[in-house]
Structure 1
Amino acid sequence: MCQSCTPGQHCAEPGLSSPSGPCSPGYYCIQGSHTPTPQYYNNTDGESGAHTVEDVYFQIHFIGDVCPAGHYCPIGSARPEPCPPGSFMGQSGGVSETECHPCTPGFYCPDWGQSSAELRCPEGSFCPAGSVTGHQPDRQCPSGHSCPYGSVKPAICSPGTYQPLPSQPSCQPCPPGFYCLEGCTTPLPCPPGTASMIEGLQSQLDCSPCPPGFYCNTSALISPSGLCSAGHFCSSGATESAPVSQMYGDICPAGYYCPEQSSAPLPCPVGYILQDKGATSSNDCSPCPPSRYCIAPGSSQPSGFCAPGHYCIGGADTAAPQATLSQQTCFCDLISSSHLQKYDLCLLKHNITCSVHIPGRIPDMVLNHVYGNR
């Protein structure tokens, strides 16, 4: 009794007692094949009928075909062998599993016999070449990284961003008052002496110093803690309201005064002194004492004694004070006409000092109204 040719073999002639040989590589032969390279004729081009008697036979009796895409067929194959999960093969006629390509990076191939890689890696995961699934536990995006849709590998968070959670598609901007180094999982607070309202700081050097006239006494501030105290001054980066002998501020020095929110000491004007530290107002500045003069602003002691031939009654800003034109005019107005022989001349010429008149007739009480004169 005649039997169908053995699967994986072909029987090319009638009257055979054994198969003619194995099916050719890249093909598969099911039971009853008479050729080592069977090809199923499929009329898909709109033509009617088969081309040959052999085509008609194949249409009636399917005996095998070329190895389909996503599969491979070694010599003597009775059926196609599918490429395993994590791989694919785009062409037909494969002869070995080595022709199955690893799944494309950024994709995953979960099925047997895939002819293409079509599934992109999901958000929060990464898929290197040959991935079988998009949700492998050891391929979840770690904290400090981001894995957007179709990631091949985790992307480390860039400086100025952070990500505290695993399996996330993106990194978050570093919040104000903090800075974030590369791969940051927890923002780092800007130190005391700084206040930063801007997000996305990349290092501690980006933290803004506390502005002059203010102090910042805690970390992670977005605005100053308060105003510098009166009697002290706070330059940039102060950490306390009343600094003493610090790089960022000090108690107000002698000769100067410091109102609240001072960024630098303000000098007492010329003609004044201030001997004590910690002054808070210009009202604390005192006129230069009598017989002395104070020529420099910000003086804590008089500059020296009044020059010979001059006198200084208080508030003098030079060693040789001169009466002003208005003061000279005042002298002429106060002196009685009966005391001067040329009173009319004094009234007409205000630019002439009263000393051109008879000196002995100028009352002392008049001179005391002027801070200094010859």
Structure 2
Amino acid sequence: MAGGPCPPGYFCPVGTAVPLPCPVGTFSDRMFLSMASECLSCPSGQFCGASGLTAPSGPCSPGYFCLEGVSSPIPAGHSEHGGPCPRGHFCPSGTSHPQPCPAGSYSNLTGQTSCFPCPAGYYCPENITTYSGHPCPAGFYCPRGECLGHSSQRQG
């Protein structure tokens, strides 16, 4: 077997007979690495599920968020790596940080890819987990998906 430059996805310390793969959760698209610390952490929103990768494996799964260095598209929920999308948020494919439910919607469940529209008769401010504490105030009407808040009432 002939030697040569250390290939992408690997590192070669002094005295290396065989290139060593970049660890799971990292990748490298460059040649000539000499230390594992030169491998790049998988970027947020992506996962690196094998060793020796030259590019991330793919996007984080829908309903999950992936922070830097994640090795699975569905992180188990360790806050330093990501996890299921929390209540009051939504996480489409490739999410790096959970997105708050926009006004007019809510999410009372974890692992959601989108938020539920606020039901008629209620209003939903941003980032809520339940609509029940927000009945439509007297003098207003609230159709489905309404985001009316008390701050938007007319001052008289």
TM-score normalized by structure 2?
Answer: 0.80
Identity over aligned pairs, percent:
36
TM-score normalized by structure 1?
Answer: 0.36
The amino acid across from 2:42 in the alignment is C
Task: Work out whether residues 124 and 134 of structure 2, in 8 Å CA contact, stay in contact via their aligned partners in 1.
Answer: no
Partner of 2:45: 213
Match for residue 238 of structure 1 among 70, 73, 83: 70
Counterpart-to-counterpart distance in 2, 1:241 and 1:265: 15
Q: Which has the larger radius of gyration?
A: 1
| RMSD of aligned alpha carbons | 2.9
Between the two structures, name the one with larger relative contact order (CA 8 Å, sep ≥ 6): 2
State the shift of 1:220 in Å.
0.5
1:229 is aligned to 2:88:
no
Aligned length: 153
- SS of the residue 2:150 aligns to: coil
Partner of 2:127: 298
Task: Work out whether residues 293 and 312 of structure 1, in 8 Å CA contact, stay in contact via their aligned partners in 2.
Answer: no
Task: Work out whether residues 22 and 39 of structure 2, in 8 Å CA contact, stay in contact via their aligned partners in 1.
Answer: yes
C-alpha deviations, 1:176-199, integer Å up to 9, x for none? 111122222222211111111111
- SS of the residue 2:37 aligns to: helix
The amino acid across from 1:201 in the alignment is L
Match for residue 313 of structure 1 among 135, 142, 148: 142
The amino acid across from 1:264 in the alignment is H
Task: Work out whether residues 27 and 54 of structure 2, in 8 Å CA contact, stay in contact via their aligned partners in 1.
Answer: yes
Which runs of no fewer than 5 residues in structure 2 stay unpaired? none
Match for residue 10 of structure 2 among 162, 178, 188: 178
The amino acid across from 1:254 in the alignment is R
Which runs of no fewer than 5 residues in structure 1 stay unpaired? 1-163, 166-170, 324-373
More helix by percentage? 1
1:310–1:202 CA distance, 2 compared to 1 (3 A): farther
C-alpha deviations, 1:221-279, integer Å up to 9, x for none? 11122221111111211111111213222111111111112222222112321111111
State the shift of 1:205 in Å.
1.0
Task: Work out whether residues 311 and 321 of structure 1, in 8 Å CA contact, stay in contact via their aligned partners in 2.
Answer: no
